Amino acid sequence: MSRQFSVAVAGCTGAVGVEMLKVLEERNFPISKLKLLASARSAGKKMKFRGEDIVVEELTHDSFKGVDIALFSAGGSISKEFRQSVVDAGAIMIDNSSAFRMDDDVPLVVPEVNPEDVKKHKGVIANPNCSTIIMLVAVAPLHKAFGLKRLVASTYQATSGAGAKGMEEMLVQTRQVLNEEPIAPNVFAHRIAFNLIPHIDVFTENGYTKEELKMLNETRKMLHDDSIKVSCTCVRVPVMRAHSESLNLEFKTKVTPEMAREVLAKAAGVTLKDDPAAKVYPMPVDASGQGNVFVGRIRQDISRDDECGLDIFVAGDQVLKGAALNAVQIAELVAAL
C-alpha cells in the first residue's frame, strides 16, 4: 500500500479507541494525517502516536473534511449522529457500535471470514459484536469445509466488554469482597466479583438478550446463510480481558476432531491450543493481548449418533480482535481497494 491515508479516530480516549491507536502504530498503517476526536471534556488532551503528541479535538460535524477513513468507537448514538457528516465528507466510516450492523446497505465484516463484503460498502462498514468475531474466526473455516447447520454457544465474557468502567468495577469489588466491605453494583446489574451474571445487554420478548440475538443475526449475515440455526447464552464473568466461548457445532457432513484440527491449523487468525494431556487449552489469561483467537478442547459430540458434531472451546481478546484489531484490519482492506 503505497498510498497514505488521512485517518480519524472518534472515541479515541476510550478503551477501544486507545487500542485502535496502538494497533494502527504496530501494524504500520499508512497514515498521512491522524485526527483524534472525542467529547468536549477530552478536547485538549494529548495522546502519543509514533512518538509524537497529538492533541485531541472535539468531535463535530466538521471534523471529517479531508479524512479518508474514520474509525468510530464512541457508541451507537454518536455513530448515528455523525454518519451522514462522515459520508458527505467523502470518508469511509468503520463503526464499532451495533448501530448499523444489520442494515442491508452496510457490510458486516471479519477480514478472516468475509473480506470480499468490504467492496459492497456505501460509506459505512460495521465491526461485528466482539463475541461474534471471536466465534466466527474459529467457526467460519469449519463451516467452509464441512457446512455448518447448527451452533449452540455459551459465552464467558470478560468485564472489558463493558469498557474501562467495567474492568474497574471488578477490581474495586474484588477488594471490597476481600475486605468484607459493602458492594453497590453500578456498571453491572449485580456484583461481578467472585460471581457470574447470565445477563448481557437487555432482554427481549423471547427471553434472549440482545447480545445473544446479535450472535445469531450477525453469524447468518456474514456467512450468507439464513438457514444456520444459532442459540446462545451470554454470561459475564469476573475476568479482566478476553472472552471465551464453549461451542457445540453440528455440520452437514461427517467431521472428526483430527479433520477439524487440520483445517484450523491452516486458518488465518487462529492459534491451536489443543493438547489436553499437557493441560494446553484456550484460556483468557493467555489470549489477552493476542491478535489471534485460541481454539482447543476439540472433540466429537458424543451425544450424537452420527459423526457430524463437534465441541470446541475458544478464547479471544475482546478489546483487540473483538474490536480494535478487527476495525484496523477492515481499514487495511479498504486501503487495498
- Name the residues annotated as catalytic: 130, 243
Cβ pair 52, 34 in contact under 8 A? no
**Grid cell 442459540 in the structure block, residue:** 231
Parallel/antiparallel/unpaired status of strands 31-38 and 46-49? unpaired
**Grid cell 464499532 in the structure block, residue:** 96
Of 336, 335, 329, 334, give the one whose Cα is nearest residue 20: 329
Q: How many CA atoms lie within 13 A of 38 on its CB side?
A: 19
The pair phi, psi for residue 225, each rounded to 5°, is -150, 100
Indicate the SS3 state at residue 91: coil
**Grid cell 484450523 in the structure block, residue:** 264
Residue-wise DSSP of 283-308 = -HHHHTT-SSEEEEEEEE-TTSSSS-
Residue 337 burial (CB count, 10 A) = 8
Of 310, 321, 313, give the one whose Cα is nearest residue 143: 310
Give a three-class secondary structure readout of 6-19: EEEEECCCCHHHHH
* CA separation, residue 129 to residues 80, 83, 100, 218, 307 (Å): 17, 19, 11, 8, 31
CA diameter of the chain: 64
